[in-house]
Amino acid sequence: MRNRILAIAAIATAIGAPVAAQAQGTVGVVRGDSVIVDNGDGIAVAQRPAFREYVIRERVPTYTIPDRVIVGGVLPEAGITYYDVPQTYGPTPYRYTVVNGQTVLVEPRSRRIVQVID
């Protein structure tokens, strides 16, 4: 009986290991109407304050949309301008813009929000 329980526990652990591995590296934090996910592909945590200051210095206009600004959300096709992220903040395939007062990184082809810079 004891061996059977150990075998079931070992199988459950083996099945659950890939799921646990996928979950690592993603941290979700909810603040107000935004969801911030840090998956390492965007602006590093240590560089975010400097990047926010850069965006303010550049006087990037803010665009207003009726939807919540969340990671995974898709921005409208027309009416929003996307800007290149300077190499100073690390190489990234994403562009940035300001939506509803929040700086976001966007995948340029799909217009999907990949990071909200908080």
**Residue range 24-73, pLDDT digits in tens:** 333 344 344 444 444 456 899 999 999 999 999 999 999 999 989 999 99
Q: What is the pLDDT of residue 103?
A: 95
Q: Determine the 3-state secondary structure of 116 from DSSP.
A: strand
Domain boundaries, the chain: 26-117
- What is the spatial distance between Cα 108 and Cα 57, in angstroms, rounded to a whole number? 23
Amino acid at 10: A
Query: What pTM was estimated for this model as a whole?
Result: 0.64
Query: 56 with 75: CB under 8 angstroms?
Result: no
Q: Which phi-psi region, left, alpha or beta, contains residue 25 (left: φ > 0; alpha: ψ -120 to 50)?
A: left
Q: Report the CATH architecture of 26-117.
A: Roll (3.10)
Place of tokens 């996928």: 22
Instruction: Please tell me the predicted confidence (pLDDT) of residue 33.
Output: 44
pLDDT band at 6; cut points 50, 70, 90: low
- CA triplet 36, 64, 29: central angle to 5 degrees? 10
Phi-psi region of 67 (alpha: psi -120 to 50; beta: other; left: phi over 0): beta
